[in-house]
A and B are shown apart, each in its own frame.
Chain A
Amino acid sequence: MNVEHLVTMANQIGAFFESQGTQAEAVAGIADHLSRFWEPRMLHAIGEHVHAGGEGLHPCVAQAVRSITAAAAPR
């Protein structure tokens, strides 16, 4: 998957949830959204990107991705 596009999409999701409450709530919201709507290979790709430093990702988003990395293993 094109990681650049995934980073853009993830940051858009982050921008929404960061406006909804505390940082912890934002991280939980982002993680829940990604888990519910992103296909595993997308989660895997963004997880790899975070593992490699997460360039371009907002901190909340990176944190959310890390929290679901275990579920993002490729099938």
Chain B
Amino acid sequence: MASLNSLDYGTPARVGADSVTLEVDGVRVTVPAGTSVMRASIEAGSQVPKLCATDSLEPFGSCRLCLVEIEGRKGYPASCTTLVEPGMKVRTQSDRLATIRRGVMELYISDHPLDCLTCSANGNCELQDMAGVVGLREVRYGYEGANHLDSAKDESNPYFSFDPAKCIVCSRCVRACEEVQGTFALTIDARGFASAVSPGPAGNFMESECVSCGACVQACPTATLMEKSVIERGQAEHSLVTTCAYCGVGCSFRAEMKGNEVIRMVPNKDGKANHGHSCVKGRFAWGYATHKDRIRVPMIRKKITDPWQEVSWDEAIAYTASEFRRIQNAHGRDSIGAITSSRCTNEEVYVMQKLVRAAFGNNNVDTCARVCHSPTGYGLKSTLGESAGTQDFDSIRATDVMMVIGANPTDGHPVFASAMKRRIREGARLIVVDPRAIDMVSGPHIQADFHLQLRPGTNVAMINSLAHVVVAEGLLREDFVAARCEPQAFANWKKFVLEPRNSPEAMQAVTGVPADLVRGAARLYATGGNAAIYYGLGVTEHSQGSTMVMGIANLAMATGNIGREGVGVNPLRGQNNVQGSCDMGSFPHEFPGYRHVSDTATRTQFETDWGVALHPEPGLRIPNMFEAAIDGSFRALYVQGEDIAQSDPNTQHVTAALTALECLVVQDLFLNETAKFAHIFLPGASFLEKDGTFTNAERRISRVRKVMPPLAGMGDWEITAALARALGYPMEYADPAQIMDEIARLTPTFAGVSFDAIDRLGSIQWPCNAHAPQGTPVMHVDEFVRGKGHFVVTEYVATDERVNQRYPLILTTGRILSQYNVGAQTRRTANVAWHGEDRLEIHPHDAQDRGIGEGDWVGVASRAGETVLRAQISERMQPGVVYTTFHFPESGANVITTENSDWATNCPEYKVTAVQVSLVSHPSQWQKRFHDFSEQQQRFVEQRRPVHT
């Protein structure tokens, strides 16, 4: 069902230099060549009836409702499949056309239930609309003959129902699944009158290949595929455009509302990151926002062995401030700090880091990017000059070769994965570098040309081998390098990668990948046309994460694959606002805009604006905070929207640090794992309650609009500002727009950004300033941000985390489509129907060696700890490598991971942990302790004393 009040042009917009002028119903209209007559007619102001056409799909020409007359042509061509021609004269209305259209509608309605008044699509049904448009007044055929009205509903999907009785077999759902999503889960089964939409041989959606992206529901012109939320609550009455709170794609959505209640989230076809597409999380998994587990009143307690006491906001803020000041007075100014969140808006993150620098008086602020993309910041800044990806998502449309390294787009960034798959179906080539056979390696109409299935921890060896082939075989873009890069650094790098020890043949023993595959992939990347690298946490979460990012940038520069559409170096960011939280100065060594705290000119600028002296030395990173907490020099921590007790490595080390704190303040939606160790809980606001901006992986700043008031009464930025005031630092803003104005005033790359500008342009990609007032889709076009591109020698250094007899397997971790990170949001939705527990994927050989069968409980032990999961036998993994997700706290995936980290940034080495796996019959000791502690903390919440008692 289409979005409320959305104008549908019937066929997609075309782009191109050539235009065509024609006449529709006497009105001249000029459109790009290749445009359909239908779209041109609608642009000219004539409404052509249609059912099988919608502007998110290529024309199909099956419903025969959009017939028109064209002067000089015989018959009645379908306007959706007829392209405009110069001088064409089109008539969209005539008596003959009206008669034909009524006849077509009569046939449709003769096999459709006449239950409009009680139908969930009533008032927003294209079939109903078209019946009115064509003036249908009678159906002569009756229901006595064969029909589909008794077809059974498929209610298997938790979010939408499929009622074949209402289906007009327009194929929009089937085409949406193919063209938009690229899953090919649906088909039209049988022929003629028996034709019916079918979700494959399983017969229902839940057991089919369907990934529940919602594209079919969006495309359906009737109530055949309908959101259950609409069926239960009725149609929305207003909508607001906002931005998804899940992954770094940052999809634009229309929140369709009834008062303050969300009825459904509909992907916004004007959204420049998603162009009207969505995934199961953004489209459907928003119910957590009003889940019963939300804590809506601030709480405090003296010790974590005490029950909670609810307090007013004034009491909570005053108590928090008094605790922070007490601890600073006793243990020094540097004894407290804070962690910002990638799930919060830019404005909320900005005021958090300002609170730390200006009110705490130190630089002890860090963010969850520490554990994901901090090496991206370091690596890209060092080589290209800016800590961000180089392209917009639409750049993929001009890509000829894509290299996906350590990323799993179909699960982690599904909407962008659909764009990638579409481009591959158009002929682009694909190289996958990953220890695991991800879905992109092979799928419907997708087949990677090369899958370099390397051993975990050997990325740098691989990138050096690829570079070796490029240099040794003369595939360099010497002209690009000579014009754009530092010559001496390039010469050093060239000499280094040419060394025989970096050849694919020499490195084969390290990476495990046959040399001929590496050579083939390198040749394809260097010579296949526009080549783009997309990478994820499989690159960054290693002891050489930063080195690998620099290696990727080296390869892109050496082959001239940077600075234009279709190419580039593109980190796929994990969370919705990872880019933004980094941009906003969340790192302990940088002010907003990635400027070092030791830079006197920058610091003076902030000191002048903020009216306070600032520190010139870096603060503690998250792992350093844990170390300092355990040694007693760090006593209080304010954590906003991050669950470090579940997400950070070596859980037992983290919880030891949290237990050592005198004051832990958690600001979150739920009593998460970290909050179980907290002394103060400040209830936060979900994305539906926020007003501000998110910045996605392509540097796109988009508005997040408050569609309902904060359930706890305060926005997150208001809480932080109140705390600053309570600490004696004046922090006054009328609204988040004022915060963004301050950000723009102090951050050169944001100089042209304001809420007004974003509202005017839809979204803005930074840098946005006097040089680029509309923003910057592609960076480094004529020169690198740092001037000349800087090649860096990337020596491969094996990780300290080695396998041995005791720990002979390598564990690597990742995400799955239906769940999101620590699962605090998605576990509280029906997405658990797809993934209700974390499992250990293990190769059949490794399983057989250990006598492990599908679904068996297995102990996974590392040097850090032990947990127990159920086994899933899978050939996705190579022998010797096991894999798990980390969405459920009781799984304890991070009980196993170690504190090994990236040399430059301390980003944890989640992707390489030496483990042993064995059959067990009971939970691990850690899991038993976890269970008891969680039960105790849950009781403390249930027994919380209310305010004023």
Contacts and interface: CB of A to CB of B under 8 A. Distances in A.
B301 interface: no
Interface in A1-31: 1-2, 5, 8-9, 12-13, 15-16, 19-21
Contacts of B332: 75
A28 B279 CA distance: 48
Given A2-B630, A5-B899, A16 B617 contact: no
Contact of B904 (A13, A40, A41, A42): A13
A30 B598 CA distance: 17
B903 A40 contact: no
Contact of A1 (B621, B631, B906): B631
Contacts, number: 65
Interface string B567-607: 00000000000000000000011000000101000000000
B904 A39 contact: no
Contacts of B624: 1, 39, 42
Contact of A39 (B333, B617, B795, B903): B617
A12 B543 CA distance: 8
A13 B903 contact: yes
B618 interface: yes
B630 A39 contact: no
B554 interface: no
Nearest to A16: B903
Interface string B792-828: 1101010010000000000000000000000000000
Contacts of A1: 624, 627-628, 631, 633
Given A1-B631, A2-B630, A9-B906, A36 B899 contact: no
A24 to B, nearest CB: 15
B547 interface: yes
Given A13-B903, A15-B797, A20-B793, A39 B620 contact: yes
A36 B598 contact: yes
B414 interface: no
A38 B621 CA distance: 9
Given A13-B903, A13-B904, A33-B904, A41 B628 contact: yes
Interface residues of A, number: 22
A61 B621 CA distance: 21
Contact of B627 (A2, A12, A15): A2
A23 B376 CA distance: 27
B621 to A, nearest CB: 8
B619 interface: yes
A28 to B, nearest CB: 15
Contacts of A20: 792-793
Nearest to B617: A40
B793 A19 contact: yes
A8 B799 CA distance: 12
Contact of B596 (A33, A36, A40, A42): A36
B627 A38 contact: no
B334 interface: yes
Contacts of A36: 589, 596, 598, 618
B631 A12 contact: no
A19 B617 CA distance: 27
B618 A39 contact: yes
A45 B620 CA distance: 14
A12 B903 contact: yes
Nearest to A17: B903
Interface in B296-326: none
A2 B903 CA distance: 17
A75 B334 contact: yes
Contacts of B631: 1-2
A42 B598 CA distance: 17
Most buried by A among B618, B792, B899, B901: B618
B627 A16 contact: no
A20 B792 CA distance: 8
A8 B898 CA distance: 14
A9 B900 CA distance: 9
A1 B492 CA distance: 37
Contacts of A41: 334, 628, 633
A72 to B, nearest CB: 10
Interface in B607-623: 617-621
A16 B795 contact: yes
B904 A16 contact: yes
Nearest to A38: B618
A50 to B, nearest CB: 18
Interface of B: 332-334, 363-364, 492, 543, 547, 588-589, 596, 598, 617-621, 624, 627-628, 630-631, 633, 792-793, 795, 797, 800, 899, 901, 903-906
Given A9-B901, A9-B903, A13-B903, 5 more contacts: A1-B627, A20-B792, A39-B620, A41-B633, A42-B624
12 contacts: A2-B627, A15-B797, A35-B598, A36-B589, A37-B904, A39-B619, A39-B620, A39-B624, A41-B628, A42-B620, A42-B624, A75-B332
9 A-B pairs with the lowest CB-CB distances in the bound complex, closest first: A12-B903, A19-B795, A39-B620, A15-B797, A1-B627, A2-B627, A13-B903, A40-B617, A16-B903
